[in-house]
Amino acid sequence: MRLLLRVLFAVLIFCLPVFSILAAENLICRAPDLYTYEFTKTQITREARIGVSERDLGEFFSDYFLGKKEEFSYITEYQDREQDLFNLRESNVMRNIRELLNHLTLFMFGVVLITIAAYWILLHYNRKEGIRLAFKWSLVFYGILWVTFGLILFPWAPFKSLETEDLLLRLITSGFITDWFLAGIFISAVVMGILGSITWKLTKPRRMFW
């Protein structure tokens, strides 16, 4: 039993920061806010003269990652004829990213179930102090994950197959990636704070006198 409890403490140390990061990245990728903000900041839609507002393009990216749109295709009128803003190369890149995000989302749900089970078992055996200690160690692992993620993310080149004239390469800039990374840190930190508050309430010692 002691070995099982140690394993469950390790599970919490791993699962809490993983869930917070995956939840944050899911929210950022599937919501239109970051896309709209970045496209407005860079004014790329006006420079490229594609006849689409920043908000509409941000909503399109959001709908695609939410699965509301099957294909990464945005038809617009240009010089009295219809054209797709994105070519096959760009569509393939975004399809791969969406598949990766969907797989990570499924993994996140698995992490949630495992975390709930770990909490239930540890509380059942009254290991409240151990749960609090595990949460403190999870904060350390949380920091390690973000450092590792940063080292992997910035050299990562999912758009290396694109050509310089491709619109997607002009939309998703290095500044976009940096803001995405910083937004992930902020939102995941909020999630960790919420998890910490829940943990402290669940492990609050019972008062003998009121």
Mean pLDDT of 38-53: 82
> What is the spatial distance between Cα 173 and Cα 210, in angstroms, rounded to a whole number?
58
> pTM of the predicted model, to two decimals?
0.89
> What is the per-residue pLDDT across 156-182, written as a single tens digit (0 to 9) for each?
667 777 787 888 888 888 888 889 999
Mean pLDDT of 86-97: 92
Residues in the chain: 210
> What is the spatial distance between Cα 105 and Cα 19, in angstroms, rounded to a whole number?
10
- Token digits of residue 25: 């990245």
Mean pLDDT of 27-40: 94
Q: What is the pLDDT of residue 169?
A: 85
> What is the per-residue pLDDT across 107-159, written as a single tens digit (0 to 9) for each?
999 999 999 999 999 999 999 999 999 999 999 999 999 998 887 766 566 77
Q: What is the pLDDT of residue 206?
A: 66
> What is the spatial distance between Cα 93 and Cα 80, in angstroms, rounded to a whole number?
29
User: What residues does each domain of the chain span?
Assistant: 2-30+89-202
Residue type, 49: R
